[in-house]
Amino acid sequence: MSQVVHRRYWRASAFAALSLSLILTGGTATAADPTPTASATASATATSSPSAEATEAATDGATADATEAAADAAADAEEQPVAAEGFVPEHEGWPNATEHSQQAYSTTDDFTAKWTRADAMQIQRLSNPDAASGESSLPEYLTMPEISNGFPATNSDEVWVWDTWTLTDDHANQISYNGWEIIFSLVADRNAGDSFDDRHTNARMGFFYRKAGTTTSSADGASSSNGGWICGGHVFPDGASGSVFADQSFSHQTEWSGSARLMPNSNKIRMFYTAVAFYREPTSDAGYLMSDGTDYKPQDPHIVQSEGRIHADENGVWLTGFRDQHDLLTPDGKYYQSRYQNQYLSFRDPFSFVDQTNPSDTNTYMVFEGNTAYARAGEDTSIIAAHGQSTTAATCTAEDLGYQDGDPEAGTVDEVNEAGAYYQLANVGLAVSENKAMTKWRFLPPILSGNCVNDQTERPQIYFKDGKSYLFTISHRSTYASGMMGPEGVYGFVGDGVRSDYQPLNENTGIALANPINLNYAAGSPYAPDWNQSPYAYQSYSHYIQPGGLVESFIDSIGGNHDGNPVRGGSLAPTVKLNITGTTTSVDRSYGTNGLGGFGDIPANKAYNPGYDER
């Protein structure tokens, strides 16, 4: 664990780990063995009694050890920081969270809310340091119910399915069209010879449909319905999404997540999505040298819009159009980190909406995932400067840490920078459409930054409820900065407007919905989970919040932490329901079966029935 992990949590975790090691190994401070043997000391005690001399020696040694321990404790107490006068700790032994007002600002203002390290430390505060191997350390009300490793495939054996979104109007209502519900998903061919973990560079956008009003259950595991979804094929004609790239020498070209808008009183769909080109072979574009010395060009993400039409009759749904691609946005290097500033940038997942907290604002906006526009260590600043972008080196500031003045549990800027936390620079971007066709967009400053906390705020969405603006996003444990930890799942923030001083939900942890995970142990990965980790730490991902608090996601990886053979998903997960009130969310365990609804249960809440189309 990093030296910049909160000092009290580090001591408690270290003591718990040492105690567990001593129990399992008979006094030898080694890592817990998944198949521990009997203690050698215990065996010796069972076969012989200690002599008087040995007993006396042991007593003397214990006395000396106790004296030394007392001296160490006294010295340690003297080293404990003391709160400044007037500072009031909210939770003994933990830093206070950053104060957030939820105040709204104009969407065009330059105010950016901070998701700070002081905020993220509240996750560790809420985590149970005594949670045993294989258990979740997070409160049940924040965790998604466990999914059986028996589940139906969304589309038989043809495609893997992951990021999924719905056909919506400008208020995020989910629309059925002529009696059919429609979803869009990233898909990859299961039979193309690639593994599930290779899917990201082979992703296409597919669509699925089912009869409106379909009801499903997850109670029967693998024998349950797959949600009733029928695969309609790809959204874009072959090669269409790659047309936005001036440099056609890419080795891989992929389609990533977005959002779909059904225009009023028509069958016109505007699809906002991410097109990405990868350049995996050597090229003549010098300046990006890999360790083996070959030339390398970084990935090239674009936010794109394409327009098509939806049609339906009594037999199903089909799409036309989607040939023309409108290149909307590429990172500017001012607000949003570019491929020149960081070859591993995040820039994707546009979600379009109108501001429901301000009815007089008729603009269409989008939020998207970005990174703060610093130059990553190691990138060539001359190339960055040649493109007219910021060459300022990434660094963590006191504002990124967010500790209150006088907090004795606060970390320091120096130690955080020394630990390399400046490599993690997540933000949530904002842009506004400048024409009715939504083909021209302008960047606005980000609405949230997670500098030195996390590197990814994927698939952000704005969700309006009770006059409040909720910002939901998803992230991973593996993308946290040094000293920070959190689960795979949904993170949420609330404010009085689209641009607000957003407050993290649920005691300032930011957790809205988490997979069951144990933060006392290493995370492992979806394809190789840690032995001590919860079998459900990677059970689902890419959650999307629907009207009424329903949450859909896909199954990623279940089990495998003991046998090294996790069950991989690529299918839609059971839907769950969140109760969202003020600054809190909680999982509704009365929904469905023990809190799990049907697999891929993604219902429409509004119907549009213009009449059947002819094929």
- Let me know: does 536 contact 530? Beta carbons within 8 Å: no
Per-residue pLDDT at 48? 34
pLDDT range class, residue 342, cuts 50, 70, 90: very high
Nearest alpha carbon to residue 306 among 277, 273, 330, 266:
273
What percentage of residues in the chain have a pLDDT greater than 70? Answer: 84
What is the phi/psi pair of residue 120, to 5°?
A: -65, -25
Q: Which residue has the tokens 């990201």?
A: 200
Check if the beta carbon of residue 489 is closer than 8 Å to that of residue 534: no
Q: How far from chain centre, in Å, is Cα 37?
A: 39
Which residues carry a binding-site annotation for substrate? 257, 456-458
Model pLDDT, residue 86: 85
> pLDDT averaged over the chain?
88
pLDDT range class, residue 156, cuts 50, 70, 90: low
Please state the rounded mean pLDDT for residues 403-422.
Answer: 97
pLDDT of residue 149: 76
Query: Is 53 labeled as catalytic in the residue annotation?
Result: no
Return the closest-CA partner of residue 424 out of 373, 360, 480. Answer: 480
Give the DSSP H/E element, type plus range, for residue 68: helix 52-79
Which phi-psi region, left, alpha or beta, contains residue 221 (left: φ > 0; alpha: ψ -120 to 50)? Answer: left
Q: Read off the amino acid at residue 283.
A: T
Q: DSSP labels for 523-554?
A: -EETTEE-TTS-TTTTSEEEEEEPGGGEEEEE
Both structure tokens of 605: 């809440």
Instruction: State yes or no: pLDDT of 290 exceeds 90.
Output: no
How large is the average pLDDT for residues 359-387? 96
Q: Average pLDDT in the 311-321 region?
A: 98
Query: pLDDT class for 85, splitting at 50, 70, 90?
Result: confident
Task: Flag whether pLDDT at 515 surpasses 80.
Answer: yes
Binding residue ranges: 257, 349, 417, 455-458
- The pLDDT of 387-401, averaged and rounded, is 98
pLDDT above 70: residue 292: no
CB-CB contact of 375 with 392 (8 Å): yes
Rg (CA), the chain: 26
Chain-centre distance for alpha carbon 310:
31
Residue pair 535/517 in contact (Cβ under 8 Å)? The answer is no
Q: Which CATH architecture has domain 104-608?
A: 5 Propeller (2.115)
The one catalytic residue in 181, 255, 369, 458 is 458
pLDDT of residue 67: 56
**pLDDT tens-digit profile of 15-72?**
333 333 333 333 333 333 333 333 333 333 333 333 444 444 444 544 555 555 555 5
pLDDT in tens, 595-604: 999 999 999 9
Structure confidence by residue, pLDDT tens digits, 161-220: 999 999 999 999 999 999 999 999 999 999 998 889 999 999 999 999 999 999 999 999
What whole-number percentage of the chain has pLDDT above 90? 78
Residue 68 has what pLDDT? 59
pLDDT, residue 64, reads 53
**Residue 115 confidence (pLDDT) above 80:** yes
243/173 Cα distance (integer angstroms): 31
pLDDT value at 289 more than 70 = no
Mean pLDDT for 421-446 is 99
pLDDT (0 to 100) of residue 157 = 78
Q: Which of 178, 265, 237, 176 is nearest to 613 (CA)?
A: 178
When mean pLDDT is compared across 47-51, 62-66, 367-371, 481-485, the lowest value belongs to 47-51
Which candidate, 209, 103, 146, 102, places its Cα nearest to that of 587?
A: 146
> Active site residue: 119, 163, 307, 507, which one?
163
Tell me, what's the pLDDT at 257? 98
Q: Which of 235, 172, 559 is nearest to 366 (CA)?
A: 172
Among the listed ranges 30-34, 314-318, 508-512, which one has the minimum average pLDDT value? Answer: 30-34
Residues 426-432, mean pLDDT to the nearest whole number: 99
Sign of torsion over alpha carbons 423, 426, 432, 437: positive
Mean pLDDT calculated for residue range 279-304: 64
Query: Is 300 assigned a catalytic role?
Result: no
pLDDT tens digits, one per residue of 229-280? 999 999 999 999 999 999 999 989 999 999 999 999 999 999 999 999 998 7
